[in-house]
Structure 1
Amino acid sequence: MENLQFIDPLLHGIKPIENNTKNLSVKQLACAGIGSLLVGAALKKTGHNKAAAIVGSLALPLLSAAVYKKIANK
C-alpha cells in the first residue's frame, strides 16, 4: 500500500470556487427561475420527463435566492 499524504491544493495553484451569485441581480435570478419552470413544462409536454424534472427542480433554488437577495438588500 502506498503512503498517501495530504497535498495542500493551495500549493498547486488550485483555488476554491468563488461564490458568483453576488454578481447576478434579483431580476436575473427571478427570470432564470421562471425560465426554468417554463423549460421544464415544455420538456414534460414533449415527453422528456427526466430532463423536465431536473430542469424544473432548479426553479425553487433560483427563486428563493432571488427573494433572499431582495430581502437582504433592504
Structure 2
Amino acid sequence: MENLNFIDPLLHGITPQTLNNKNLSVKQLACAGVGALLAAAVLKKTGHPKVGAVVGGLALPLLASAGYKKFCEVKKEKNDAKASSGIEYNH
C-alpha cells in the first residue's frame, strides 16, 4: 500500500517539532529594531520609499518591546530582592 503519511501525520504517530525557546531576548529584539531602521534607510536611499516606510514601521514596535521586556526584567529583579520567604535563619 502507498505511504500516505502526508494526509494526516498525527494518525501515523508523527508529531510536529516545536521550538524549545519561543521567547526572544532583549538583545535580539533591540538588534532587530536597529536592523529594521538601517534597512529602511537603505531602502529609501535606493529609491524604494514605500517598502522602506513599511520596514521602518516595524522598528518602533520592536524597540518598544525590547524596552518593555527589559523594564519587566529589572522590576522583577527588584521585587525578588525585596521579597523574602518570611523565614529567618538565626545561626
Compute the TM-score of the two structures, normalised by the length of structure 1.
0.70
Runs of 4+ in 1 over 6 A off after TM superposition: none
Structure 2 residue ranges without an equivalent (≥5) = 1-21, 75-91
Count of residues paired in the alignment: 53
1:39: which partner in 2? 39
Partner amino acid for 2:39?
Answer: V
C-alpha root-mean-square deviation of aligned residues, in Å?
Answer: 0.9
Structure with larger RCO (C-alpha < 8 A, sep 6+) = 1
1:48: which partner in 2? 48
Structure 1 residue ranges without an equivalent (≥5) = 1-21
What secondary structure is seen at the aligned counterpart in 2 of 1:70?
helix
Percent of aligned pairs with the same amino acid: 68
Compute the TM-score of the two structures, normalised by the length of structure 2.
0.57
After TM superposition, the structure 1 = structure 2 runs for residues 1-74 of structure 1, keeping only pairs within 5 Å, are 23-74=23-74
